[in-house]
């Protein structure tokens, strides 16, 4: 992802920050061939907003689209949360396709044993 696409991605995350409440938490995970957890869970508070915006500003695109790898890191971060909100949303933004990502992600989800935990995944491409 590069050029105008990465700029739209950054704008999208900043918009999400605007609609979230101060106690809502954000974790940013990027993926190409591998995934990188860019931030721990951070409250969308006035204190943390400069940090979150700095992470967003530094996002860079590269090559590869291993969606399942990104989802694996996102699932791991969700499992590590100390507090669980009644509504949990995972946003997946990508400009590429990953053949077989559905099956690999479903397998990862089943291995995580989320049990009764509810969350939604919204995808944007």
Q: Where are the domains of the chain?
A: 3-124
pLDDT of residue 37: 93
| Position 125 pLDDT exceeds 80 | no
pLDDT digits (tens, 9 = 90+) for 57-109: 999 877 778 888 898 999 889 888 888 777 788 888 888 777 778 888 888 88
> Does pTM surpass 0.85?
no
CA angle (65, 70, 59) in 5-degree steps: 75
**pLDDT average, residue stretch 13-29:** 93
| Position 116 pLDDT exceeds 70 | no
Assess contact for 16 and 56: CB atoms under 8 A: no
Q: How far apart are CA 98 and CA 84, in angstroms?
A: 30
Burial per residue of 4-19, b for 16 or more beta-carbon CB atoms within 10 angstroms, e otherwise: eeeeebeeebeeebee
Enclosing H/E stretch for 74: helix 67-80
Enclosing H/E stretch for 69: helix 67-80
Q: How far apart are CA 125 and CA 43, in angstroms?
A: 26
Spelled out in words, what is the top-level CATH class assigned to the domain 3-124? Answer: alpha beta
| Position 51 pLDDT exceeds 90 | yes
pLDDT of residue 62: 77
Q: How far apart are CA 22 and CA 45, in angstroms?
A: 5
pLDDT of residue 52: 96
């Amino acid at each position: 992802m590069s050029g105008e696409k990465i700029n739209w991605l950054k704008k999208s995350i900043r918009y999400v920050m605007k609609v979230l409440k101060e106690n809502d938490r954000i974790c940013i995970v990027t993926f190409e061939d591998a995934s990188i957890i860019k931030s721990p869970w951070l409250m969308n508070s006035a204190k943390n907003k400069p940090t979150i915006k700095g992470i967003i500003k530094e996002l860079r695109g590269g090559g590869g689209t291993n969606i399942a790898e990104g989802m694996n890191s996102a699932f791991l971060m969700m499992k590590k949360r100390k507090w669980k909100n009644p509504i949990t949303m995972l946003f997946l933004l990508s400009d590429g396709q990953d053949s077989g990502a559905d099956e690999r992600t479903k397998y990862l989800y089943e291995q995580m044993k989320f049990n009764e935990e509810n969350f939604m995944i919204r995808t944007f491409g």
